[in-house]
Amino acid sequence: MQKMKAAVCRQYGAPEVLQIQEVKKPVCRNDEILVRIMASSVNSGDVKLRSLAVSGLQKIVMQMVLGFSRPRRSVLGMVYAGMVVDTGKKVSRFKVGDRVFGMTGFSFGAYAEYINVKENSIVLTMPANAGFEQAAALPFGWHTAIYFFEKAGINASKRASILVYGASGSVGTAAVQLAHYFNAELTSVCSSAGKDLLQGLGATSIICYDQEDFTQCQKKFDLVFDAVGKISRQSCKHLLNQGGRFVTVGGLDMAGQKLSHLQLIRELFEKGKCQAVIDKVYPFNEIVAANRYVDSGKKKGNVVLLLNE
């Protein structure tokens, strides 16, 4: 039986619950591909699932989905970029040597040296101009931003006015770029530490929440998007135009995964309309430190994890 290294999580808690161990290396079934994972990411969704640091109904729902006393699937991680090293007999979309990126959702498994995924899962060949680190930094934030923009109908709007709260995080930096793609009138809210990053992404109207109260903004918006799950509709409903929407990543609504979202991400990156915003890169054996950094709330953009070098 062949072995591989994986970060195993046997209980919910602090970053230290993650331990790198040797586990059974997967093999691909007829409709699967086996991917040697080169890079993954540690994002806000990952640490929320690892720690189960939520309360009320959200905690109950997450426990029902993930496991009550500990994760049912001990190898976490939802995003990967890597190389196809084997294919099942019925696989036609991919071949050995293809560079691919994808999302596993609540199947997890991306904090490991190898993963087997179904050919028809959320996986595509990587953007031709992307490296593994960039490809691993794209799916979570961009996929989430696309999902909530579509939910609010921004993709069908003309010159919508949008406020993005938490604009310097993984989801926020994707939302800022996506707003530009949809030709929206954008106002970004972040800390002073994130201002330069957002200006580099083309943001011009920026409110630093540690210097002024964004809820006192005189503008009205078609969409207020809480990209970090820290504000409520009640606190900013006066900022909405009639018929305006408030959406947040902090509710029970999980961003449903679609292959079309991944296809859009790849297309935008290849056309130069999408940047992979990377804050820090950690080797696999420092996964605990990577989780600590994301837990700190100081992350800007994405934290990437290198699994094979």
pLDDT, one tens digit per residue, over 67-77 is 888 888 999 99
According to DSSP, residue 250 is labeled: T
What predicted TM-score, i.e. pTM, was given to this entire model? 0.94
Half-sphere exposure of 1 (CA within 13 A, CB side): 7
Give me the torsion for CA of 276, 279, 281, 285, rounded to 10°: -130
Residue pLDDT, tens place only, 156-167: 778 899 999 999
Please report the pLDDT score of residue 125 as a whole number: 98
Distances (CA, A) of 134 to 55, 218, 258: 33, 37, 20
Give me the average pLDDT of each 10-residue run along the chain (309 residues).
94 96 96 98 90 81 83 94 98 98 94 97 98 97 95 84 97 97 96 96 96 95 95 94 93 82 97 96 98 94 93
Q: Are 116 and 78 in contact (CB under 8 A)?
A: no
Q: Are 206 and 195 in contact (CB under 8 A)?
A: yes
Q: Are 140 and 60 in contact (CB under 8 A)?
A: no
Buried b (16+ CB within 10 A) or exposed e, 214-239: beebeeebbbbbbbbbebeeeebeeb
Backbone angles phi and psi of 115, in degrees to 5: -145, 140
Q: What is the DSSP string of 78-135?
A: -EEEEEEEEE-TT--S--TT-EEEEE-GGG---SBSEEEEETTSSEEEPPTT--HHHH
According to DSSP, residue 75 is labeled: B
Q: From CA 186, how far away is CA 183, in angstroms rounded?
A: 9
Residue pLDDT, tens place only, 180-213: 999 999 999 999 999 999 999 999 999 999 999 9
Count Cβ atoms below 10 Å from residue 194 Cβ, excluding itself: 24
